[in-house]
Amino acid sequence: MSTATPQKFEFQAEIKQLLDIVIHSLYTEKEIFVRELVSNASDAIEKFRHLQLTEKDVADDQLALEINLTTDDTAKTLTLQDAGLGMTRAELIENLGTIAHSGSKAFLKALSEGGQKNSNLIGQFGVGFYSAFMVAKTVKVYSRSWKKDEPAHVWTSDGSGSYEIEEVDDQQRGTKIVIELKDDCGEFATEGRIKEILERYSAFVSFPVNLGGKLINTVQALWLRSKSEITDEQYTEFYKFQAHAYDEPRLRLHFSADAPLQINALLFVPKDNTEKFGMARLEPSVSLFCRKVLIDSKPKDLLPEWLRFLKGVVDSEDLPLNISRETMQDRALVEKLNKVITKRFIKFLSEEAKNRTEAYNEFYAEFGVFLKEGAALDYAHKDEIVKLLRFESSLTEKGKTTSLAEYVTRMGAEQKEIYFLMGPNRAAIESGPYLEGFKARNLEVLFCYEAVDEYVMSNVREFDGKKLVAADHADVKLADAPKPPAAEGDLSEDDAKALAEWLKTTLGDRVGEVKASDRLVDSPALAVNADKFMSPQMRRMMKAMNKDGADAPVKVNLEINPRSAVIKHLAAARTAAPEKAALIAEQILDNSLISAGLFEDPSKMVARLYKLLETV
Ligand code: FE6
């Protein structure tokens, strides 16, 4: 058939339909067409290179394997040229309609059904090319096949209903696409705008991408190379480039998987947790790529919220290129990626904790708060995350931590629960009245210093079948306690009971139950939270937020120590000096509230103390 004169063709009905979808609804941002065309060009070169391994007799075999873009701001055109395998006349026609033949019906059907489960129907040269018509008045495709002696052609269309094909002479091997831009798309004829787009989406394309003769992509897609070939310096350089960071990464995980999904990932933990300084909440910043081409730089659901401190890239061949941010067409796939990566990262952290304990502990000191968030909120991974948590305890040195697993190995046979105490710091917990009963019984208590710990502990609830119990809670029973040796002058059980009853009457509404207790060793008294629904920490938080309920007067149960000199003195004063005894009772309650972090109104206390001092 002669092809010397232009020949006109109508688009098939399916192609018209597809074009309409691509132009009007598949992509939310017009700039995406640059990514799609560069991606096609890269694939075409890749295929050519592959083909060259077996085919020796190819057209223009000296051509540099490059992609060249040029803009013409006056003519309002953008030109992309590649040295790929090119297309013959038949292939131009065939490739244009490939999707229409191979499953476009199913594709269209899937889209019309909401497009939620779009499998990868679109092959390597998919609908991407059509995206040019989002911005083009006309598109000209010049192409010469790698097959020698095949003439070159130019394909021309305005995307409305028909196209023309004509033979041309001066086209080298590969494809050159010339886009004449619509009037409102002139920005894509400026070098600055195209540079920006290339740097965003095409920074890691395997072949040189030149814009106006200048090389754009200078960084390698490190995540696709083998670990053994990469130096620490290269990793750090990549981290800085990818995360726009100036620090050195604290930890890195480079891994690949083939099942259940094909994944290459390179993840970094930065040096510092910037949220800690009261800076804005971190945004997800592990970018999602498909074969080196950016899909989304801030994919919302690629990782769970608590991993928002991670930087880096995830690349999966299983992703269709045209997943764009607003049209995440394959939720299920992203969810699967999320599962695999999260599991893998948790495994990595547990290995770090085991093999590089010091580095892990430093990581934990900085980023532990995110693990706590995960332990409390990520139900699917809770059990594994809890193993990564670390706490100081009554048995660790100051600044040293223990895991819950280690705590459990130290538990005596009769201990059934894991105890913890909240407090602003180690000194405050150690000097408070709550710890002494546990210390006397050789029961280890975890120390929690952060406001979130309360929430974390109540969400985690148990570890290894053992309940996590607040050591200052009224329900804590230390039944098997060894009775402290009786001493001269200790209150009898009856005296203690009578004193407790008297205290209850004297203190009135300020206390719930008052009883003698074995929990105490040195302190005279201790307040245990009588409010099952609001811990002191919660109360403080609600007060800070001006929430209702925090204003109600504090009500606590009081436990007294019948062996304490102060209590013995009080028992004697009760009959000898009733007025003074009442003052002492009030003061003992206030002191115990201070230790519990529940003391709120010092005004009465000052007056009372002066009154007491008068009696000395
Ligand atoms: C997509 C234009 C039909 C090659 N190189 C490049 N693009 C390619 C191919 N496509 N298909 C093969 C496409 C067009 C038309 C299909 Br008309 F770009 N750069 Cl080898």
**CATH at 418:** 3.40.50.11260
Mean pLDDT of all residues in the chain?
89
The verdict on 125 and 270 lying in the same domain is no
| Residue 116 is assigned to a structural domain of this protein | yes
The verdict on 398 and 501 lying in the same domain is no
Rounded distance from Cα 74 to ligand 1 centre (Å): 26
**Two structure tokens written together for 472:** 């200052």
Rounded distance from Cα 148 to ligand 1 centre (Å): 18
Query: Pairing between strand 392-393 and 445-448?
Result: antiparallel
- What digits encode the pLDDT tens for the residues 291-350? 898 988 999 899 999 999 999 999 998 876 555 444 555 678 889 999 999 999 999 999
**CATH at 332:** 3.30.230.80
Q: Residue 99: CB within 6 Å of ligand 1?
A: no
User: Of the ranges 213-227, 292-306, 515-529, which one carries the lowest mean pLDDT score?
Assistant: 515-529
Average pLDDT of 207-222?
Answer: 96
The verdict on 453 and 523 lying in the same domain is no
One-letter identity of residue 106: A
- Is residue 127 pLDDT above 90, yes or no? no
| Residue 1 is assigned to a structural domain of this protein | no
Where among 180, 215, 250 does a domain terminate? 215
Number of domains in the chain: 4
Q: Residue 129: CB within 6 Å of ligand 1?
A: yes
| Residue 239 is assigned to a structural domain of this protein | yes
**Predicted pLDDT at 98:** 67
CA distances from 146 to 41, 58, 123 (A): 14, 5, 21
SS3 assignment for 99-160: HHHCCHHHHHHHHHCCCCECCCCCCCCCHHHHHHHHCEEEEEEEEECCCCCCCEEEEEECCC
Average pLDDT of 213-231?
Answer: 96
> Which of the four pLDDT bands, split at 50, 70 and 90, describes residue 518?
confident
The verdict on 559 and 597 lying in the same domain is yes
Omega within 30 of 0 (cis) for the link into 299: no
- Is residue 357 pLDDT above 80, yes or no? yes
Separation between Cα atoms, residue 207 and residue 218, nearest integer Å: 10
| Residue 385 is assigned to a structural domain of this protein | no
Separation between Cα atoms, residue 453 and residue 393, nearest integer Å: 14
The verdict on 185 and 321 lying in the same domain is no
Average pLDDT of 459-466?
Answer: 96
- Is residue 113 pLDDT above 90, yes or no? no
User: Of the ranges 111-115, 212-216, 291-295, which one carries the lowest mean pLDDT score?
Assistant: 111-115
Where among 457, 482, 507 does a domain terminate? 482
Separation between Cα atoms, residue 337 and residue 286, nearest integer Å: 12
**CATH at 577:** 1.20.120.790
Separation between Cα atoms, residue 333 and residue 387, nearest integer Å: 28
Instruction: Locate the ligand 1 atom nearest the alpha carbon of residue 80 and give its number.
Output: 19
**Predicted pLDDT at 549:** 62
The verdict on 477 and 543 lying in the same domain is no
Q: Nearest to residue 70, comparing CAs of 212, 177, 215?
A: 212
| Residue 275 is assigned to a structural domain of this protein | yes
| Residue 206 is assigned to a structural domain of this protein | yes
Separation between Cα atoms, residue 330 and residue 116, nearest integer Å: 6
Q: Residue 128: CB within 6 Å of ligand 1?
A: no
Where among 435, 460, 482 does a domain terminate? 482
What range does the domain containing 503 cover? 487-616
The verdict on 11 and 139 lying in the same domain is yes
The verdict on 242 and 296 lying in the same domain is yes
The verdict on 472 and 512 lying in the same domain is no
| Residue 135 is assigned to a structural domain of this protein | yes
- What digits encode the pLDDT tens for the residues 492-507? 889 999 999 999 999 9
Residue 532's contacts (CB-CB under 8 Å, 6 or more residues apart) are none
Rounded distance from Cα 162 to ligand 1 centre (Å): 17
**Predicted pLDDT at 480:** 57
The verdict on 32 and 128 lying in the same domain is yes
- More confident of the two residues 185 and 23: 185
SS3 132: helix
Instruction: Locate the ligand 1 atom nearest the alpha carbon of residue 87 and give its number.
Output: 20
The verdict on 258 and 273 lying in the same domain is yes
Rounded distance from Cα 173 to ligand 1 centre (Å): 13
In percent, the amount of the chain with pLDDT more than 70 equals: 89
The verdict on 52 and 194 lying in the same domain is yes
Q: Residue 446: CB within 6 Å of ligand 1?
A: no
**CATH at 69:** 3.30.565.10
User: Of the ranges 154-163, 316-325, 504-513, 592-601, which one carries the lowest mean pLDDT score?
Assistant: 316-325
Rounded distance from Cα 129 to ligand 1 centre (Å): 7
* Location of structure tokens 């009963």: 437
Give the CA-trace dihedral at 503, 507, 512, 513, to 10 degrees: 0
Q: Nearest to residue 282, comparing CAs of 243, 251, 308?
A: 308
| Residue 509 is assigned to a structural domain of this protein | yes
* Location of structure tokens 């997943």: 323
Rounded distance from Cα 247 to ligand 1 centre (Å): 42
Separation between Cα atoms, residue 598 and residue 189, nearest integer Å: 68
Q: Residue 80: CB within 6 Å of ligand 1?
A: no
Average pLDDT of 18-44?
Answer: 91
Separation between Cα atoms, residue 9 and residue 442, nearest integer Å: 89
Q: Which residues is 168 bridged to in the sheet?
A: 152
